[in-house]
Structure 1
Amino acid sequence: MSSSAAPVLRPLLTVAVLVALAGCTTTGAPRTTAVEASVTTKAVGYLQADAVPTSLALVPAPPAAGSTGFALDEQVSREARALRGSPRFAQAHIDAELGFPAGANQFSCAIDMDVDAVKTPALYRLLERSRIDASSATRTAKKHYQRARPFMVNGEPTCTPDDEEGLRGNGSYPSGHTSIGWAWALILSEIAPDRADAIQLRGRNYGESRLVCNVHWQSDILEGRFMGAAAVARLHDNAAFNKDLLAARKEIAAAHKAGLHSSRDCAAEEAVLKVRPESAL
């Protein structure tokens, strides 16, 4: 190397070293994944980014102001807000929880057993990882449309006031909670077919809790179900998902054979969840 070239190359080598060091400092950092506006987790989904359904390509634009579709959204929202202060509103607050371990038992009554990271590890993992994929499936449309949530329009409280700041910057359409709930309903129905009716009913009213909470419109809910189904269809082509699916099926069968049941007050929950906005689809 000539002496005249050295001063030119030295700064470039310094930059290269710094870039390499920066890469080393981030490679080992724990990866965090956004599930919903107020929930992050170190768990990761089963699907690679290019395998996640693209909601922007799959769902139509949300109903425009003044349209018949938006008029129905407003009607259902009014009916749902009338439940504020009722046991159904309290249940909507419970249903908003997506953080694990609490979130793992949102369908505990529907499958009639508790989900535990130690006692039912495959089922716990199946629910935790699939929720990330179902949430990711709604992301491109949420970001593109940035639809204002009901509480931002009507100025009335939600069932989760601590989440409102985060929700304001997170588009309403389609509903991430509903996508997750419907994905869980489809997955659990497959591995516990004897409980399928109860599970799918829970999937529907889990999404409707977002109406009662005043954080989603009905059209958000409907397209959220669609994206949840789209995510599950993609998951069935994933080897890790299918491995956990089979293991979770065995865990559920073993729990039911052993006579284990949900520790929740399922009769009370069932009665509360029968209450729904009259115009909800």
Structure 2
Amino acid sequence: MRTGNGTKRGSVFAALALLAAGSASQSAPAQDQPASGSAANPTAVDKMKLPPGYLPREALPDSLALLPPPPAKGSAAMQRDEEARKAADKLRGTPRYARAASDAVIGFPQIPDDFACAMGIPIGKEATPKLYALMGRMLIDVGLSTYGAKNKYNRTRPFVAHKAATCYPKDEALLRNDGSYPSGHSAVGWGLALVLAEVNPDRADAIVQRGRDFGQSRVVCDAHWQSDVDAGRVIAAATVARLHGDAAFRADLDAARAEVAAARQTAATGESPACAAEAASLKLP
């Protein structure tokens, strides 16, 4: 079920337009382009020509209201972040580290493909067009919801603070100027997991676990602190809650649920080698 490589940008900020172009319109993914600005610039996202998500900007969750400031230097919370980083550093060179590098690629069709094994069906423009479009459109809302706190705190990423390397070196130049808190990757993974679990409740445990692992990959990658990942899940949950108040989202959710139910009737049985390898890699701590 793992097929495409998607866009080669790691930041949600840089990938938002690509996500929408590759999914919400159900057309071919746009060509990779650099972001129009950094997360430190409060107007950078607004300068991007983004297709609409489901929510108007004023209805998005306020990440500054929902999140405390990131852990302060010398605090117990910062010590927890450092300990989580040290534990993750032991995974370098393992299949779990390789999975984190794969999870770092945030774009379409890569993200739907990341959840295909957990869903038990292929996800794509041809196989599940309604679900594919739903995922792309809602990610506009999830991604944008992280940027109030990202812009405000512009937290230094762990690989920068420790003068280290990440699991995905191609993104490092971009990530140096993109705020670490909250994690956009974690928000994306958790938001998708919550919605996909509704669409396919029989696979809910596997889907939510994959969403959790998708966020944890950022700690394994040394691209985010653990508190960044935790905060991303808060913003994702808040965004998904807001989305359920939108009639267009609910209609698309119902259509995707029916589409997935039909797809499961004809899905191949048994675990593919690629899915078995994914499961094995994610069993590592």
- TM-score norm. by structure 1 comes to 0.83
CA contact (8 A) 1:59 1:223 kept: yes
CA apart distance, 1:259:
2.8
Say yes or no: does 1:185 pair with 2:161: no
In structure 2, the residue matched to 1:130 is 138
Counterpart Cα distance in 1 of 2:136 and 2:96? 25
Q: Deviation above 6 Å: which 4+ runs of structure 1? A: none
CA contact (8 A) 2:194 2:240 kept: yes
- Give the aligned length: 243
Distance change in 2, residues 1:220/1:214 (3 Å): same
Say yes or no: does 1:81 pair with 2:57: no
Structure 2 residue matching 1:265: 3-state secondary structure: helix
In structure 2, the residue matched to 1:270 is 279
| Higher alpha-carbon Rg | 1
Say yes or no: does 1:209 pair with 2:238: no
Say yes or no: does 1:61 pair with 2:69: yes
CA apart distance, 1:166:
1.0
Distance change in 2, residues 1:168/1:35 (3 Å): closer
Distance change in 2, residues 1:40/1:222 (3 Å): closer
Distance change in 2, residues 1:67/1:221 (3 Å): same
CA contact (8 A) 1:35 1:136 kept: no
1:189-222, CA deviations, whole angstroms, 9 ceiling, x for partnerless residues?
1111100110111111110000001000010111
In structure 2, the residue matched to 1:109 is 117
Distance change in 2, residues 1:184/1:136 (3 Å): same
CA apart distance, 1:118:
2.0
Which consecutive residues of structure 2, in runs of 5 or more, have no partner in the other structure? 1-9, 21-50
In structure 1, the residue matched to 2:166 is 158
Counterpart Cα distance in 2 of 1:263 and 1:234? 36
- TM-score norm. by structure 2 comes to 0.82
Question: Which of 60, 79, 83 is the aligned partner of 1:52?
Answer: 60
The one-letter code sitting in structure 1 at the alignment partner of 2:152 is H
In structure 1, the residue matched to 2:252 is 244
The one-letter code sitting in structure 1 at the alignment partner of 2:282 is L
CA apart distance, 1:109:
0.8
Structure 1 residue matching 2:203: 3-state secondary structure: helix
The one-letter code sitting in structure 2 at the alignment partner of 1:253 is A
CA apart distance, 1:46:
1.4
% identical equivalent positions: 49
In structure 2, the residue matched to 1:13 is none
CA apart distance, 1:150:
0.4
Give the RMSD, CA atoms, in angstroms. Answer: 1.6
In structure 2, the residue matched to 1:226 is 234
- Range 128-137 or range 220-229, more displaced: 128-137
Say yes or no: does 1:198 pair with 2:174: no
CA apart distance, 1:38:
3.8
The one-letter code sitting in structure 2 at the alignment partner of 1:269 is E
CA contact (8 A) 2:11 2:175 kept: no
Counterpart Cα distance in 2 of 1:252 and 1:47? 24
In structure 1, the residue matched to 2:180 is 172
CA apart distance, 1:264:
6.4
